[in-house]
A = this chain, B = another copy of it.
Amino acid sequence: MEKISCDVLVIGGGPAGGVSAVTAKMNYPEKEILVIREFEKQLVPCAIPYIFGETLGSTDKDIGSCSAAKEMGISTLLGQVKDIDFKGKIAFTGNEAIHFDKLIFATGSKPFVHESLRHSLALEGVFTVPKNKELIDKAKNYIEDKKDIVIVGTGFIGIEMAMELASVGKNVTVIGGSKHILKGAFDAEIAIQAEEILLNAGVTFVGSDRVCEIIDKNGDNIVNAVKLKSGRIVDAQVVILATGYKPNTELARKVGLSLGAYGGIWVDEYMRTANHDIFAVGDCSSRRAFITKTASKVMLASTSSAEGRVAGSSLYGLKYMKGFSGTISIFSTMVGDIAFSSAGVTEDEAIASGMDVVVGSFSGMNRHPATIPDAQKQYVKLIATRHGGQIIGGQVVGGNETGEMINIIGLMIETSQSVYHIMSMQVATQPMLTAAPTNYPIVMAAIMAIKKIEG
């Protein structure tokens, strides 16, 4: 068995692992950092849906670059850690014994499939959406000459895949277990706008009903259809199970780390396990929500990167006192030409959590005057506490700018801004780039929230 030594060992080369390693090297340049990962070519996870249409069209166009890490002097090893001796500080692969001082788990997540459907994964034509080039290539090749696709799951991966597959002529049916798509991120009135675009693109959306069986009529182990709870049968040459992900914590479980909510590795706000030499970041860590402080299933490369920055700078003592205080669940997606984004709690979630909130919203145009040729509609909704007006959530619908507008709202949530501050916030506006100065939608939504608070 080969003996290897490093100061910091990072298990996993996805966004969380990569950012942890780079941050560690920046903060402790004298330390040897080693990243061990399973695959030579690592997919950019959030762009996987775009492999299935013409946007990217192939996995070769969705490969993450490691050049920055290499240039910084971070080492990489292809392999898989199978066991760990915490006392001796050694990680074992099949062939190597890796001595470390600090260890970061960044083992990511794996597709989650409901127990009742798990056995159907053995059928030809049934796929999940793993972050694995070989398996995604296999799915893409299989789908190539098929027509009828059923996507199970209405999260953003399911919806992005549906739009991409419809754009290359597939007959796509999306089946969710909830009345509206993108549940959890958007309130109904916004989800409905996304559903309309989905329908206009020729995608069939089946809401409240859900898939209870995946069928091979001919008994030949090739999928033909799915059966819904209502008894309805939907023909399917391909079934894609986009029903979420679960923390990849088999190794952590085996070596006895404490697991928290939803099976993630328990960590504190500096991403440390109970053993302060062992950290966990990204989808394999257990998470809670920034506002509600309850366990969270949210998995996003962007917030994983923030966790990696906290871990990477906290390895040898707490250098920066800002830890990771829970996910603000901030994300954006495109449905057709319209961008949808969300941060913090939705109105539904706030009410279900027993919060006393008000909502301020504003509809306008993303250019001014509205006669600017590429002007599009723009909608902003803010959720604020009734007492004090603290901004705890927001949703934006509009053009490409939506992707950065949610980051304005995210910063407001993360820094506890109130609508009373935002009502006279200074912003830049420009005819070709933004809404009008007199009707800047985030400011207007804040003003509308104040109106509600003050009755």
Contact = CB atoms under 8 A, between A and B. Distances in A.
Nearest to A369: B44
A320 B420 contact: yes
A170 to B, nearest CB: 19
A266 interface: no
Contact of A404 (B313, B401, B415, B423): B401
B61 A369 contact: yes
A414 interface: yes
B437 A301 contact: yes
A305 B423 CA distance: 10
Contact of A306 (B320, B332, B425): B425
A178 interface: no
Interface stretch (A3-11, A137-145, A241-249, A333-341): A333-341
Given A301-B437, A404-B401, A437-B304, A428 B63 contact: no
Nearest to A290: B426
A26 interface: yes
Interface stretch (A32-40, A112-120, A218-226, A321-329): A321-329
B55 A330 contact: no
Given A401-B403, A408-B404, A426 B303 contact: yes
Interface residues of A, number: 82
B302 A433 contact: no
B371 A62 contact: yes
Interface string A361-399: 000000011011100000000000000000000000001
The copy count of this chain in the complex is 2
Contacts of A300: 428, 437
Contacts of A61: 369, 371
B427 A407 contact: yes
Nearest to A405: B404
A429 B55 contact: no
Contacts of A426: 290, 302-303, 306, 327-328, 330, 410, 414
Given A411-B408, A411-B412, A415-B415, A306 B424 contact: yes
Interface in A399-455: 399-408, 410-412, 414-415, 417, 420-421, 423-434, 436-438, 440, 443, 447, 451
Nearest to A328: B426
A412 B427 CA distance: 11
Interface string A231-262: 00000000000000000000000000000000
A373 B330 contact: no
Contacts of A106: none
A402 B46 CA distance: 22
A423 B407 CA distance: 14
Nearest to A439: B68
A18 B438 contact: yes
Contacts of A330: 426-428
B403 A451 contact: no
Contact of A438 (B19, B331, B334, B411): B19
27 contacts: A15-B436, A15-B437, A15-B438, A18-B438, A26-B451, A46-B430, A46-B431, A47-B368, A47-B372, A50-B432, A302-B426, A306-B424, A313-B423, A334-B433, A343-B428, A400-B433, A401-B403, A403-B433, A404-B404, A404-B433, A404-B434, A405-B407, A408-B408, A410-B427, A411-B425, A414-B426, A415-B421
CB-based closest 5 A-B pairs: A403-B433, A302-B437, A404-B404, A61-B371, A47-B431
Given A302-B428, A306-B424, A309-B423, 20 more contacts: A15-B437, A15-B438, A22-B438, A26-B451, A47-B369, A56-B369, A290-B426, A300-B428, A300-B437, A302-B437, A305-B438, A305-B443, A322-B421, A324-B424, A331-B428, A332-B430, A333-B430, A339-B430, A339-B432, A400-B401
